Amino acid sequence: MTPKSALIAAGLFAGLAACTVVPSVEAGAAPDDSQPVAPRTVAAPPAPAPASTPTTPARTDFTYSGELTQGGWIRGQAPSNAVSATLGETPLLLDEEGNFFAAFDRDAGTSELLVATLANGETVTRELTVLPRDWDIERVNVARRAGGASESFMRRRQPELDAIWDARIANSDTNGWKEDFIWPLTGRISGRFGSQRIYRGEPGSYHSGIDIATGGSGNPFVAPASGVVTLAVEDFSLEGNLLIIDHGAGLNSAFLHLSEIAVEEGDRVEQGQLLGRIGSSGRATGPHLHWSLKWHLTRLDPILFTGPMP
């Protein structure tokens, strides 16, 4: 018997038990209209018990998963009732359910601290072990080129740097950071994240992204995750045609040396959407896509988001 049928049956039986007995009329006799017949009364069915609401056990610690290595990342949840959280000195953005994204710089140390502050003022701390990596280091027996950028170059360059900075700290309302990233295009990896030259003991700048070559200019590339376009510009001095997509929670992608940009600043893009075409604009030795990822000031390895090139 279903719960609804049981409830109806219970009410029916309760009504029968509460009925007033009316004297029967003898056979062949007319009913006595002078005596009123008491109305039949039915007891009200009992009120149903309130439905129980399942409760989720409170989280007393952080939960997380990801790539706990230099240039890597994690996604997770803060303890229940956390009002704020940090990785080292960097604040984490917590959504309504306490979900967060965090990452580790190319030169991160072997440990980092996750700290949550609860509503009652208490703190929860978790120490993370960050695995070191063997970077592609090339040592050359030549001196690093002396001198810095000229004053005339910096007059052009500084506004470009300011625009890039603003685009990378935009903090747009988007949840692309929650998605499993895909490759923006397939091809030969011609430059790996973190590679570096050492000039007679003096380190040069390491490669801040990953280079993907396809053998020619004009090949299309797509969004590795959804987000908001925060910068879409042409003819920057080093980057050439440059596109930056904010994935939210402090995470963003930059695409350099493009031959064509297919979106505009302010556009919302979905994972897999066409963003433009690769090229060799700016300071590039040949057609390729330079893709870099940053979380706040932290530089990350794109291949740790996508897995090996298919």
Both 141 and 117 in one domain: the answer is no
Domain that holds residue 105: 63-129
Both 157 and 125 in one domain: the answer is no
Both 172 and 217 in one domain: the answer is yes
45, part of any domain:
no
25, part of any domain:
no
Q: Give the whole-angstrom CA distance, residue 162 versus residue 184.
A: 26
103, part of any domain:
yes
Q: Which two structure tokens, joined as six digits, stand for 205?
A: 């700048």
Name the one residue in this structure whose structure tokens are 């990822």.
293
Both 284 and 164 in one domain: the answer is yes
31, part of any domain:
no
Both 156 and 299 in one domain: the answer is yes
Q: What pLDDT, on the 0 to 100 scale, is given for residue 50?
A: 62
252, part of any domain:
yes
User: 2-61 pLDDT, tens per residue?
Assistant: 443 443 333 333 333 333 333 333 434 444 444 444 555 555 666 666 665 566 688 999
Both 147 and 281 in one domain: the answer is yes
Q: What pLDDT, on the 0 to 100 scale, is given for residue 145?
A: 79
Domain stops at, among 109, 129, 149: 129
Both 300 and 160 in one domain: the answer is yes
Domain stops at, among 108, 129, 150: 129
β-bridge pairing 220-222 and 210-213: unpaired
Q: What pLDDT, on the 0 to 100 scale, is given for residue 211?
A: 98
Both 171 and 91 in one domain: the answer is no
Domain of 283, CATH number, reads 2.70.70.10
55, part of any domain:
no
204, part of any domain:
yes
Q: What pLDDT, on the 0 to 100 scale, is given for residue 84?
A: 98
Domain stops at, among 82, 112, 129: 129
Both 267 and 292 in one domain: the answer is yes
Both 240 and 190 in one domain: the answer is yes
Residues of the chain short of pLDDT 70, as ranges, are 1-56, 147
222, part of any domain:
yes
Both 97 and 123 in one domain: the answer is yes
Number of structural domains found in the chain: 2
Both 294 and 158 in one domain: the answer is yes
Q: List, in order, residues 6 or more apart from 273 with CB less than 8 Å away.
A: 222, 223, 263
